[in-house]
Amino acid sequence: MQCVLSFVKLLNKAYIERFIRDSFDSTDAAKTLSRSASFALVGGMAGGALAGVLLDFVNALWCFGASAALYFLSQVAISIAVNSAPAGGARSTLP
């Protein structure tokens, strides 16, 4: 199961990086990718800590279920962002 989860995380990261590079100009894309890497590190630490606490109170399947639900929500968010993007390939800028 962990092997499948690692593979999904790898594909998800590659897809998000490609999406960011295609959606923003080079300066904003670099800023967004650095923010994304920072958030991923913090999320990995917080997620690991939360999973450790949850394992004390619930079954391990709940952790896998929560992880699957969060991946599903991230895919929904990406789909919404792609479908609501302006036509003509207009690029966004960060504040």
| Residue 91 banded pLDDT, cuts 50, 70, 90 | low
CA-to-CA separations, 85 to 10, 50, 74, 89, in angstroms, rounded? 25, 34, 16, 8
What is the crossing angle of helices 2-23 and 60-83, to 10°? 20
| 92 part of a folded domain | no
How many domains does the chain divide into? 1
| 70 part of a folded domain | yes
**What's the confidence (pLDDT) of residue 61?**
82
Residues 23/28/31/36 CA torsion (nearest 10 deg): -20
Q: What is the pLDDT of residues 66-81, one digit of tens each?
A: 878 887 887 787 777 7
Three-state DSSP class for residue 59? coil
Distance CA 24, CA 19 (A): 9
| 95 part of a folded domain | no
Reading the block at residue 85, the tokens are 């993007």
Residue 92 has pLDDT above 70, yes or no: no
Domain of residue 49, residue span: 2-83
pLDDT cut 90: percent of the chain above it: 0
| 93 part of a folded domain | no
